[in-house]
Amino acid sequence: MIKECNCKNRDEELEKLNMIDVENLEDSFRLAEFFKVFGDSTRIKILSALQMTEMCVCDIADFLEMTPSAISHQLRVLKQAKLVKNRREGKVIFYSLDDHHIELILKVGLDHIHEE
C-alpha cells in the first residue's frame, strides 16, 4: 500500500532551485567514481604532499615513508582520475596536482570534517 505524503506541495519552489544535474546517469556515475578516489587515505596523503610542491615518486615515498612501488600504484589511480599530472625532466618524472580544483576539494573536505 502506497502512503500519501502529507507535506505541503512545493513543486513550484523545487523547480526554481538550481540543482546539480545528477539526473544524467553518466554524470552521476562519473561523479561517484571521482569521489571514490578520495576514499583511500594513502591517496589523500599523496595529494596533500603535492599541495606543497611537485615531487618525484622517490620524494613522495620518502616523505610518506612508503615504498616507491606503493606510491607508483596510487599515482596511476590519481592520474587516471585527472587529480595529478606529470612532467618529465630527463629520466625523472615529477608529479603535481592537476589543477586548483583539487586543492579546493581537499580544503572544503577538511573544513567540513572540522566543523563543530
pTM of the model: 0.80
Neighbours of 81 (CB within 10 A): 17
Q: Which residues have CB under 8 Å from 74's CB, separation 6+?
A: 40, 42, 43, 46
pLDDT in tens, 37-65: 999 999 999 999 999 999 999 999 999 99
Please count the other Cβ atoms lying within 10 Å of the Cβ belonging to residue 109.
Answer: 13
* 61-111 pLDDT per residue, tens: 999 999 999 999 999 999 999 999 999 999 999 999 999 999 999 999 999
| CA distance readout (Å), 98 to 37, 50, 103 | 14, 10, 9
Domains of the chain, earliest start first: 41-116 (1.10.10.10)
DSSP E strand stretches across 1-116: 55-56, 84-89, 92-97
